[in-house]
Amino acid sequence: MAFVPISMLDLDVAVQQGYATLLSHRGFVFMQNKIHIEVTYKGNSSLPCVYMEEAILDILPAYDRQVTYSRMDIQSHAGKKRFLALSCSLFGEKGVYEHHRLAPIPAVFMDGELVFDAIPPRDELEEAIVERLRSEPQNVRATEQQMTEN
């Protein structure tokens, strides 16, 4: 397990903004990464979208406090805005608004990054989640003494 020292201010901000969860064990406080998964969703009449969401919902219980999920329903105003923002992150504003390049539907985004543009097998989906949870900075260690000093 890799540990990355950070200031207590960074730790507080990460927890407040939902990017991390604090865990305590034997006098140490650990900050564990969280990831957010989004699925581009066109509606219940799109079977690929329905099956993509089912694939995600099926594995979520195994990552209870580490993974959050939201459906990006492009038929809602908020969903359209998010879809266009992610499309711009992939192709740039010119690519989206002049060349009509859009994010795939359905697709899996983890923390705003396109990870799958087709329904992934369960093992590949779990592998992608575990890899993200283990990526730096994964866990941050601070002693209880450091916690009380700040």
The residues, any chain, with a CB within 8 Å of residue 119's CB and separated by 6 or more, are 48, 51, 52, 55, 106
Q: Kindly state the DSSP code that residue 113 receives in the 8-state scheme.
A: E
58 by DSSP, 3-state: which? Answer: helix
Cα–Cα distance, 83 to 129 (Å, whole number): 21
How would CATH label the architecture of 34-133? 3-Layer(aba) Sandwich (3.40)
**Over the stretch 6-43, which tens digit does the pLDDT of each residue have?**
444 444 554 454 545 544 445 555 555 789 999 999 99
Cα–Cα distance, 135 to 17 (Å, whole number): 19
**Band of pLDDT at residue 125, cut at 50, 70 and 90:** very high
**Band of pLDDT at residue 134, cut at 50, 70 and 90:** confident
Q: Please say if the pLDDT value at position 52 is more than 70.
A: yes
| Domain boundaries, given as residue ranges, for the chain | 34-133
Looking up tokens 């919902």 gives: 57
pLDDT of amino acid 33: 73
**Over the stretch 64-97, which tens digit does the pLDDT of each residue have?**
888 999 999 999 999 999 999 999 999 999 999 9
Q: Side-chain half-sphere of 54: how many Cα atoms within 13 Å?
A: 8
**Over the stretch 97-118, which tens digit does the pLDDT of each residue have?**
999 999 999 999 999 999 999 9
Best CA proximity match to 4, nearest among 36, 23, 32: 32
